[in-house]
Amino acid sequence: MTTLRIPTPLRAYTGGNADITVSGEKVSDALNDLARQYPAIKTHLFGEDGELRPFVNLFVGESNIRDLQGVDTPIREGERLMIIPSIAGGSLIPSLTGEG
């Protein structure tokens, strides 16, 4: 069992929950468990090819799985998983309203 931290933009798909308990020895198992519990989040994490979307960053402890073994990265006891999303601030058009 490990905790997976959901960032604010994706909490709409986890019933507002920030920390989800997932099981699995590898990152892929934990993600599959998350998708089982919250099917709506699946399209936000995985592309149609079943691969993790390139704009989704997943960290195990302090390290990006991209710098480790990708979704095959093992999860050690007590390590927390964290999804780090792209957030831009205000709008998707370059309005430069400086919303943040």
Q: Which residues contact 67 (CB under 8 A, 6 or more apart)?
A: none
**Binding of another protein at residue 87 (CB under 8 A)?**
yes
**Binding of another protein at residue 48 (CB under 8 A)?**
no
Distance of closest approach, residue 77 Cβ to another protein, in angstroms: 19
- Subset of residues 65 to 84 that bind another protein, contact rule: CB under 8 A: 66-67, 82, 84
* The three-state (H, E, C) secondary structure of 20-52, written as one string: EEECCCEHHHHHHHHHHHCHHHHHHHECCCCCE
> Could you tell me how far CA 22 lies from the centroid of its own chain?
12
Task: Give the footprint of another protein on this chain (CB under 8 A).
Answer: 5, 7-9, 12-13, 18, 39-40, 43-44, 53-55, 57, 59, 62-64, 66-67, 82, 84-100
